[in-house]
Structure 1
C-alpha cells in the first residue's frame, strides 16, 4: 500500500507535466471538522491503515450523499501528503475530487473509495490528465485493495491537525481568490497570436506548450498549471497563477490574464515584460 500510494502521489507530478486527463470541477476546499461526531444527518468517520510505521488515513464527513474530508499519507521519516476530499457517495461507492499538496505543489485528482461496513478501500488504476486535473482513465477497471479499518478520530488527532494546516495553505493559495485551476487550464488551450509581433504564435494543447515563429515550430515543452510559481522557477510568486514549462529549457510564466479570448504571460525572473496574445478562432486559421 505504501509503495502504491508513493507511486501515485509522485507519479501525479510527472503525469501532470507530460499529459492531460479528465476534467473535474474543483471547488475551493471545504474544511471538515475534527473529532468523531454526528449531528442531524451529518456523520464524521475515520479510517486508517498502518504498514510498519507508515500511516494512510481518511477522515470522512457524510451529509446525505455529500462527502467531504481529508486524505492523509504519512510515511515514516519521509515527506508525505495531505489533501482535501469533496464528492458524493452512492451505494457505498465514493467519487471525490482530491486536492492535495506534495513537494510544494498543489495537485488535483479524481479518486474513488468503497465503503464496506467498518472498512474503507481506495481504488487504484491508471490516471490521465485533462487541463491540469488527473482523472481515472477507466473507473470500471479500478482495483479496491488494502482496506483501512474504522478508528476513533481522536486516534488521528495530530494527523488531522496536519491535514487542516495543509488545507488552509491550499485554500490560501487557490481558494481565497476563487482560482479554479481546471478552468484556467481550459482557457489556456488553443492557438494564440501575439499582439506585439505578427509572426509570433503560441499553440497550447492538453499536454504541450509550443512556440511558432513565421509559421515554423521553434520548440515544444510539456507544462503544468500551478496556483503560484514556486522557488524552482527562480523566484517564488505567491499571488499569481503560474504556467511552468518542463524539460531542458524549463521556465515559468506568471499568468496575468487568461479569460479564454486573451492571454497575458510574464516571464518569471525575466525582463518583466508582458507577452500579450489574442485567441485565433478556428474559422480564421489557414488550412
Structure 2
C-alpha cells in the first residue's frame, strides 16, 4: 500500500515538473495578460475548522506557480496532489492533479489573495476535455469560509493523515 502511494506521488511530481500543458482546458479560461506577483512569494497556508483541514504550499516562479494541495475532511473523501498554474493580479488559477480514493483526477482550482491569506473560489463548473473547470472565473464566490492563513513551511504536511 505504501509503495502505491510512493508510485502515485512520483507520477504526480513528474507531471508537475513538465509545466502546464499548452492545450490545457485551464488555459482556455484564463490567460495572464497583466501580472502583479511581487508580493506573492513561496509559502505554506492552512485552513482548519474542527477536524477539517485544507493545506496549500505554493512555489511561484514569475507568473507560473507549482505546489501542493491537500483536502483533509473528517469522515469525507480526502485528496492530495500537485498544483500547476498561473498568477494574475491576486488570483492563482491552477490545475489540481490529485489522488482521492485510489484514483488520480484533475480539476481547476482558483484562490484569491487577501490580506490575511488565500481564499478558495467557488462557482458553476463545466467539463472541458475531461477536466472540471469554472464557467466564469470573474464571478467566483470567495466567501465560502475556506480561508488559508500562513503557517511555517516546516509544519506543512501534504500527505493524507
TM-score, normalised to structure 2, is 0.69
- Separation of aligned partners in 1, 2:17 and 2:115: 25
Structure 1 residues 136 and 78: alpha-carbon distance in aligned structure 2, compared to 1, 3 A threshold: closer
Which secondary structure state, in structure 1, belongs to the residue aligned with residue 16 of structure 2?
Answer: coil
Aligned equivalent of 1:86, options 65, 84, 87 = 84
Structure 1 unaligned spans of 5+: 1-26, 32-41, 164-287
Give CA-to-partner distance per residue, 1:204-235, whole Å, 9 cap, x none: xxxxxxxxxxxxxxxxxxxxxxxxxxxxxxxx
Structure 2 unaligned spans of 5+: 1-13, 19-39
Report the equivalent of 1:137: 135
- What is the deviation of 1:80? 0.6
Rg comparison, structure with higher value: 1
- Separation of aligned partners in 2, 1:30 and 1:60: 14
The structure 1 segments of at least 4 consecutive aligned residues displaced by more than 6 Å after TM superposition are none
Report the equivalent of 1:56: 54
Report the equivalent of 2:17: 30
- Separation of aligned partners in 2, 1:139 and 1:44: 23
CA RMSD across the alignment: 2.2
TM-score, normalised to structure 1, is 0.40
Aligned length: 124
Which secondary structure state, in structure 1, belongs to the residue aligned with residue 17 of structure 2?
Answer: coil
- Separation of aligned partners in 2, 1:108 and 1:149: 24
- What is the deviation of 1:79? 3.7
Report the equivalent of 1:155: 155
Aligned equivalent of 1:96, options 94, 97, 100 = 94
- What is the deviation of 1:131? 2.1
Trace 1:71-82 onto structure 2 (pairs within 5 A): 71-82=69-80
Report the equivalent of 1:123: 121
Report the equivalent of 1:45: 43
- What is the deviation of 1:61? 0.7
